[in-house]
């Protein structure tokens, strides 16, 4: 899981990283003594989303409320009174996903990905939590701007190009999301996408299939919603049968933030059984759930070990170890 000890209390808004100010989270540091570093994850969608600046006092970054990550700190009027030396980390604002997809130009999109990755290296980020590639079904979806298209073929080809661009810089990776059928923002943690197998495969999974087969992204993020009654993060058919066994995905699968915080329908142990490797941002209840189900035998140790091995492989392929 992500490290709950390193996450701020209000991590639901995606600013829980501490070594890179404004990053979404970091993986656990519990195995650093064994040579397994923690890696930093930063949100998108139009380039890296980090705090514009941060403060350092006595050699350590000064903790700032997650509210500072919103609207460039406008909602924290006293932030400039923070004690310490100010450091800036301005990131490039690239065109949003819909605009890039309208170019139909894979080479341009690859170049955008390359420049995003260069900034990832500069700021110490391994996984970019982008591109978002859900299908634009309804104009009322509040995140349509960061998705590519209503067409799964364009979506898949542009996502593959973006991934190829980012991952051409060794050690940097994309996290294609939200897997899958996340097409609205209203009640996204409680909604259930009911659909046929044909619609699922021809429309909602097709873009992910193309991106995986053509570009092999470093990570996938599952969505909040249920799919035919089963939460995406706890869905073995989605995470293992479709992504890994059919599409050939080799990387890391993570939850969206606080997916497991909303009741017994979606649990950390359920994620491990499904092949969803990492619970983000991680909390004490996730650890309690994993321990209890391991003890009872409802979670096999081999399933947990498989998830850990995929996380470790991702870390060892990251820019914590590989540069260039």
Annotated catalytic residues are 256
Please name which of 183, 228, 233, 188 lies closest in space to residue 203, comparing C-alpha atoms.
Answer: 183
Q: Which of 197, 176, 168 is nearest to 251 (CA)?
A: 176
First to last CA, the chain: 28
Cα 126 from chain centroid (whole Å): 11
User: What is the CA 224 to chain-centroid distance, rounded?
Assistant: 12
| Residue 198 CB partners (closer than 8 Å, separation 6+) | none
- d(CA 100, CA 121) in angstroms, rounded, equals 23
In sequence order, what DSSP letters do the residues of 53-79 get, joined into one string? EEEEETTEEPP--GGGGSGGGTT-TTG
Q: At what angle do helices 284-296 and 301-316 cross, to 10 degrees?
A: 140
């Amino acid at each position: 899981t992500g490290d709950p000890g390193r996450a701020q209390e209000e991590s639901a808004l995606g600013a829980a990283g501490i070594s890179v100010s404004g990053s979404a989270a970091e993986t656990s540091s519990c195995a650093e003594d064994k040579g397994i570093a923690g890696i930093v994850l930063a949100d998108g969608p139009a380039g890296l989303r980090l705090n514009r600046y941060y403060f350092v006092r006595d050699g350590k970054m000064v903790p700032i409320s997650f509210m500072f990550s919103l609207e460039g700190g406008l909602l924290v009027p006293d932030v400039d009174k923070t004690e310490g030396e100010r450091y800036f980390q301005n990131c490039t604002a690239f065109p949003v996903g819909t605009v890039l997809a309208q170019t139909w130009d894979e080479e341009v999109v690859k170049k955008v990905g390359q420049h995003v990755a260069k900034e990832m290296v500069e700021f110490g980020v391994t996984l970019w939590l982008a591109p978002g590639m859900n299908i634009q079904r309804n104009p009322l979806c509040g995140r349509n701007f960061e998705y590519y298209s209503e067409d799964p073929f364009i979506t898949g080809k542009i996502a593959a190009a973006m991934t190829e661009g980012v991952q051409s810089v060794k050690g940097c990776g994309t996290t294609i999301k939200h897997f899958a059928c996340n097409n609205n923002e209203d009640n996204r943690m409680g909604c259930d996408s009911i659909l046929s197998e044909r619609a699922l495969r021809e429309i909602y999974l097709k873009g992910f299939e193309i991106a995986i087969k053509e570009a092999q992204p470093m990570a996938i993020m599952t969505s909040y919603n249920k799919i035919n009654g089963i939460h995406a993060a706890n869905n073995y058919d989605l995470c293992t049968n479709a992504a890994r066994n059919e599409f050939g995905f080799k990387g890391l699968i993570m939850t969206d933030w606080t997916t497991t915080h909303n009741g017994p329908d979606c649990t950390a142990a359920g994620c491990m059984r499904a092949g969803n490797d990492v619970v983000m941002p991680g909390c004490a209840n996730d650890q309690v759930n994993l321990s209890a189900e391991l003890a009872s035998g409802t979670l096999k140790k081999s399933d947990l070990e498989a998830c850990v091995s995929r996380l470790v492989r991702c870390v060892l392929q990251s820019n914590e170890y590989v540069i260039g």
